[in-house]
Amino acid sequence: MSTNILKGKRGIIFGALNEQSIAWKVAERAHEEGATFVLTNAPIAMRMGEINKLAETTGSQIIPADATSVEDLENLISQSMEILGGKIDFILHSIGMSINVRKGRHYTDQKYDFTHKGLDVSALSFHKVMQTAMKQDAMSEWGSIVALTYIAAQRTFPDYNDMADNKSYLESIARSFGYHYGIAKKVRVNTISQSPTMTTAGSGVKGFNEFINYSDQMSPLGNADAKACADYCISMFSDLTRYVTMQNLFHDGGFSNTGVTQAVIEKFSD
Amino acid sequence: MSTNILKGKRGIIFGALNEQSIAWKVAERAHEEGATFVLTNAPIAMRMGEINKLAETTGSQIIPADATSVEDLENLISQSMEILGGKIDFILHSIGMSINVRKGRHYTDQKYDFTHKGLDVSALSFHKVMQTAMKQDAMSEWGSIVALTYIAAQRTFPDYNDMADNKSYLESIARSFGYHYGIAKKVRVNTISQSPTMTTAGSGVKGFNEFINYSDQMSPLGNADAKACADYCISMFSDLTRYVTMQNLFHDGGFSNTGVTQAVIEKFSD
Amino acid sequence: MSTNILKGKRGIIFGALNEQSIAWKVAERAHEEGATFVLTNAPIAMRMGEINKLAETTGSQIIPADATSVEDLENLISQSMEILGGKIDFILHSIGMSINVRKGRHYTDQKYDFTHKGLDVSALSFHKVMQTAMKQDAMSEWGSIVALTYIAAQRTFPDYNDMADNKSYLESIARSFGYHYGIAKKVRVNTISQSPTMTTAGSGVKGFNEFINYSDQMSPLGNADAKACADYCISMFSDLTRYVTMQNLFHDGGFSNTGVTQAVIEKFSD
Amino acid sequence: MSTNILKGKRGIIFGALNEQSIAWKVAERAHEEGATFVLTNAPIAMRMGEINKLAETTGSQIIPADATSVEDLENLISQSMEILGGKIDFILHSIGMSINVRKGRHYTDQKYDFTHKGLDVSALSFHKVMQTAMKQDAMSEWGSIVALTYIAAQRTFPDYNDMADNKSYLESIARSFGYHYGIAKKVRVNTISQSPTMTTAGSGVKGFNEFINYSDQMSPLGNADAKACADYCISMFSDLTRYVTMQNLFHDGGFSNTGVTQAVIEKFSD
């Protein structure tokens, strides 16, 4: 159901690991909609992933980059402009990882080196991408930059741990940088706050099934899946949404504004 | 544990029906803290209630008033100043009622006459109280006006019906009137968004027990009870909170910023 | 720059008065994007407007309807389905009017009959449209309903008067009805909170030029205009945004999340 | 106007530098209200400050601590319990500093070492204080922990730079840790979002006078000063506010919910 809504647009997509990844679906949809783009991921993630397959089906090149390394990002962005033949119209940031979570540290028992490292990967990388792009004057006017986030930035989900604080920081970067990029270059910056999604990252987390189930029953439309999230990203990259900036946009089937559903409340009768 | 924190302050308290009422607890606590005040309620509510007992124990007078009647409010406010011997320092608005709910109309099957009437009682009455007070120049400088509300103004709870919309309107009045009253007379206006509370109003609602139970398990400190809410009202009437205005203040044991608790998520394993 | 993104979709558009109207631009863009729709407005508004011209250029029929009259809405919706040949995929609600404003009543000197009437036109009409549509089972699955609103629902702008409270109520209806419509029929309901726009309604308001100017200087991308708002509505009617529901979406060039801009602060040096 | 509302309570107050400091005023007011407490600050800050004077007038001891050092915090908290003779009832965190700001780096030209260091001082220190307190089981049940913040966490103020992101992270910590501390020990955690205040930290910032002026004119009650903020902190440490947790509380004369004031809009006429 392509409408070529991104025809002629050039992008950079961070974070496609495998078919479950939201970034993977974004790449597929962006390709369908007429965009060209570069795929990128951390070298280590790429070894585990199947990104070459995606590159083939979408006719994309892959440039490995550690998103916490300004040097890597400089290379990524300058090469991307060369490969794509001009300035960048859209960027997707879909990166996140908490070492405290991986190492099984409770939120109230953090190792602060882990905390800093997780922030760097999950949030500060977003700033680094934009700062690097701005210094290279790499974005087109009215370009659109999107990072994926989760409602844990607003409300506490106990197992989300320090990723909640990272996502708050990430969303704040979107506002702060969106202000400066908007005034300087009419570039817009937003975050999309997505339903919990069964990706490789999620599927390893203890209790994730229960959590997905809960979220689904708390959402009037049910959880949004990765494909639907990709569609929403496409709309945010398109020219239909030029004056939306510095926003956190919930894409969650109504979860965020639902206090409780009938399906959930029924579990609380005696 | 009185500290006489409201010593010398004069108030008007709407909505004390019986010992379960939050307004009843506020009256008891305000009395303990050294305030004098007038009690008021709708004539019909007073017939059902035991407000005379409260008037005795707190040394207060009762002035019946239909809070949707500007005439009644004019009388209430001018008489209150006379009885209390000066301008008013605090007002509590604890009034709400949906006829659609009472008559069993679903939210998607409203009778709009009922909707208008419920809005008048639950929300517009708050504007009428303040407009009347302002016209009589009845509030002291730095006076404090509080209305009770519920988080259904932000998120949907299916059984809360059109009271959700009424509470949104009520909270908007607090902001709008708070702006004007702040500039004109340094009077502050806020709403307190309270945990669901087992009052006479609540106890009749189908499924209210399940709901209280759910809310309690979703609140890290548990549901706040009427007594604790009264304490919070006292702090908002005191001089400790002079620059807090136009706010909606959650008094809910953390419910509002909790995405899910461990206790709740456990109900979603298979 | 049509992409036929609404190809085959059927809609109802409320509130097109003249070329300045946002609803007018939405109609033009929806037509370009392949939708068919019915135009409607209050009989009295239609006499003043030029809606016939719009009907011609977009190949649409016009059905007059007072949006506060359930009877008129029943007729509108059933006729629309007949004319368009099937269920409705999108509805735009762009209706608002405060009689207190028109009559020059200050927010703290409201005439409450005016308040009720303004609420009925500006907010309750949105509920009536949806309740009527639901009773006729008139919406397609995944249909999209949008109402236009303004940030006065969250923050006080002194001249916006009781329209602020009406907009809060309107946004609450979007959440409340969005919940029920989502669960029942997978219909999504949202509000778009638009920059102040120089329409016929706005241009008559005292101080509106200063206000537009202020808002423009407080928005990193500048004020969004009616045409851009129409584009955003198109994205919300399209299949790219299926899991966005119960949201208030700011389309404002970043105004809502800007504390102050350099351009504004400069006016405050001595 | 003491009411002994904190009688018998024990606290730790971070961040009193000199008489302009909010923490200084909190110490004075807490002393008036019957609390005993320990004062602490970074060794380097103490050399510049006049904290000894405050210690004398309030009968307090001073324990220097670098709030980014877990070791220092362990010592501070265990010593404080010894000095005060029991568990801690309240903690004030009033610490913040951006090295990017100090070094004159623009938000879009950050040096990321500075960013990490600023985050550590301004935000992560709050987590460290609580994690350390929790490990020592140092807080009384219903104890109250407050950190000071600013609305830049929600909206962009261009000169606030990366402190905006730090404050977002700080507020997220309040929610995340508040969840866990509430469930484990009934300890509540909140942030107070204060008007811009003319402290030593603020007075050195370029354009701060214009900014204070703007904020004052955008607040219906005017800017809240340090003394009023101290009063509000007292209310949050008292037993009147036991069920308020995980909240960000605006203490700003209404700034946060004001879209514009008449005083401000008048600057935008031609």
Instruction: Check CB contact under 8 Å for C158 and B179.
Output: yes
Total CB pairs under 8 A between chain A and B: 73
Residue A202 has pLDDT above 70, yes or no: no
The helix-helix angle for A70-84 and A125-135 (nearest 10°) equals 50
Entry field: residues in chain C: 270
One-letter amino acid of B23: A
- Digit-by-digit pLDDT tens for chain D (270 residues) are 588 999 999 999 999 999 999 999 999 999 999 999 999 999 987 776 689 999 999 999 999 999 999 999 999 999 999 999 999 999 999 999 999 999 999 999 999 999 999 999 999 999 999 999 999 999 999 999 999 999 999 999 999 999 999 999 999 999 999 999 999 999 999 999 999 998 776 666 668 889 999 999 999 999 999 999 999 999 999 999 999 999 999 999 999 999 999 999 999 886
**Bridging pattern class, strands C188-194 and C248-251:** parallel
Contact A91, A133 (CB under 8 A): yes
For B166, the closest chain C residue by CA position comes to C169
Mean residue pLDDT across chain D = 95
Q: Which residues of C touch D268 (CB under 8 A)?
A: 210-211, 213-214, 217, 267
Residue ranges of chain B with per-residue pLDDT less than 50:
none
Instruction: Check CB contact under 8 Å for C235 and A241.
Output: yes
* DSSP, residue by residue, C21-79: -HHHHHHHHHHHTT-EEEEE--HHHHHHS-HHHHHHHHT-EE----TT-HHHHHHHHHH
DSSP reduced 3-state for B185: helix
The structure tokens listed for C154 are 């969250």
Contact A21, A41 (CB under 8 A): no
C57 CB burial (10 A radius; 0-12, 13-18, 19+): exposed
Residue C49 has pLDDT above 90, yes or no: no
| Residue B244, min C-alpha distance to chain D (Å) | 5
- CA atoms of A248 and C241, how far apart (whole Å): 15
Contact A188, C221 (CB under 8 A): yes
Entry field: residues in chain A: 270
- CA atoms of C129 and C74, how far apart (whole Å): 8
Q: Which residues of A touch B262 (CB under 8 A)?
A: 158
**What is the tens place of the pLDDT at every residue in A44-67?**
877 766 899 999 999 999 999 999
**What is the tens place of the pLDDT at every residue in A7-18?**
999 999 999 999
Task: Please report the beta strands in D27-87, taking only residues with DSSP state E, as ranges in sequence order.
Answer: 36-40, 61-62
Say which of A120, A164, A180 has its CB closest to residue D176: A164
Residues linked to residue C258 through DSSP beta bridges, in sequence order = D156
Indicate which of C240, C242, C260, C261 best probes the interface with A, i.e. most A CBs within 10 Å of its own CB. C240
- CA atoms of C137 and C150, how far apart (whole Å): 29
- CA atoms of B218 and B196, how far apart (whole Å): 12
DSSP reduced 3-state for A28: helix
Instruction: Check CB contact under 8 Å for A107 and D180.
Output: yes
Touching partners of A (3+ C-beta pairs < 8 Å): B, C, D
Containing H/E element for B46? helix B43-48
Residues of A with CB under 8 A from a CB of C: 1, 3-5, 175, 178-180, 182-183, 186, 188, 195, 220-221, 224, 228-229, 231-232, 234-235, 238-247, 249-254, 256-258, 261-262
Instruction: Check CB contact under 8 Å for C107 and B180.
Output: yes
| Residue D145, min C-alpha distance to chain B (Å) | 14
Instruction: Check CB contact under 8 Å for B151 and A268.
Output: no
Q: What is the mean pLDDT of residues A143-149?
A: 98
Q: Report the candidate in A182, A141, A170, A132 with the shortest Cα–Cα distance to residue C261.
A: A182
**What is the tens place of the pLDDT at every residue in B61-83?**
999 999 999 999 999 999 999 99
From its phi and psi, is residue B104 left (phi > 0), alpha (psi between -120 and 50) or beta? Answer: left
| Residue A23, min C-alpha distance to chain B (Å) | 25
Residues linked to residue C146 through DSSP beta bridges, in sequence order = C92, C190
The structure tokens listed for C222 are 């500048």
> Strand order of the sheet with strand B36-40?
B61-62, B36-40, B10-14, B88-93, B139-149, B188-194, B248-251
Instruction: Check CB contact under 8 Å for A259 and B151.
Output: yes
- CA atoms of A120 and D92, how far apart (whole Å): 28
ipTM of the complex in this document: 0.97
CB burial string C169-200: b at 16+ within 10 A, e below: bbbbbbbbbbbbbbbebbbbbbbbbbbbbebe
- CA atoms of B87 and B133, how far apart (whole Å): 10
Longest dimension (CA), chain B: 65
- CA atoms of B29 and D3, how far apart (whole Å): 15
For chain D, list the domains and their CATH numbers: 10-267 (3.40.50.720)
Q: Report the candidate in A262, A152, A175, A167 with the shortest Cα–Cα distance to residue A218.
A: A262
For C33, the closest chain A residue by CA position comes to A3
Neighbours of B36 (CB within 10 A): 21
Contact D46, D62 (CB under 8 A): yes
| Residue D72, min C-alpha distance to chain A (Å) | 15
Indicate which of A69, A156, A173, A247 best probes the interface with D, i.e. most D CBs within 10 Å of its own CB. A156
Say which of C221, C235, C262 has its CB closest to residue A188: C221
Look up the pTM and report it: 0.97
Instruction: Check CB contact under 8 Å for D156 and A134.
Output: no
Percent with pLDDT over 70 in chain C: 96
Sign of CA dihedral C34, C39, C45, C49: positive
Q: Report the candidate in A96, A222, A100 with the shortest Cα–Cα distance to residue A148.
A: A96
Please report which confidence band the pLDDT of residue C5 belongs to, taking 50, 70 and 90 as the band edges.
Answer: very high
A194 CB burial (10 A radius; 0-12, 13-18, 19+): buried
Q: Which residues of B touch D232 (CB under 8 A)?
A: 240-241, 243-244
Containing H/E element for C144? strand C139-149
Q: Which residues of D touch A169 (CB under 8 A)?
A: 119, 165, 168-169, 172
Contact B238, B210 (CB under 8 A): no
Touching partners of D (3+ C-beta pairs < 8 Å): A, B, C
Instruction: Check CB contact under 8 Å for A242 and C228.
Output: yes
One-letter amino acid of A86: G
**Distances A172 to A98, A190, B154, D91 between C-alpha atoms, Å:** 18, 10, 22, 26
Instruction: Check CB contact under 8 Å for B176 and C164.
Output: yes
